[in-house]
Amino acid sequence: MMRAFALMIVLALLALAQKPEIKQVAPKPTNPAAGAEMFREYCAACHGVDGKGGGPAAPAMKKPVPDLTLLSKNNGGKFPETRVYNSIQGDMVASHGSKDMPIWGNVLRGVSRDEATVKMRLTNLTNYIKSIQR
In a domain, 18, yes or no: no
In a domain, 126, yes or no: yes
Single out the residue of 21, 30, 56 nearest to residue 110, CA to CA.
Answer: 30
What is the number of structural domains in the chain? 1
| Rg, Å, the chain Cα set | 18
In a domain, 21, yes or no: no
In a domain, 12, yes or no: no
Give per-residue pLDDT as tens, 75-87. 999 999 999 999 9
In a domain, 6, yes or no: no
- Buried b vs exposed e over 86-102: b needs ≥16 C-beta within 10 Å? bbbbbeebeebeeebbb
Hey, CA dihedral for 21, 100, 47, 67, is it positive or negative?
A: positive
Phi (first) and psi of residue 50, to 5 degrees: -90, -5
Give per-residue pLDDT as tens, 27-51. 788 999 999 999 999 999 999 999 9
Single out the residue of 80, 109, 32 nearest to residue 66, CA to CA.
Answer: 80
In a domain, 5, yes or no: no
Distance of CA 20 to the CA centre of its chain: 16
In a domain, 15, yes or no: no
Boundaries of domain holding 121:
30-131
pTM to 2 decimals?
A: 0.76
> Which CATH number belongs to the domain containing residue 60 in this structure?
1.10.760
In a domain, 3, yes or no: no
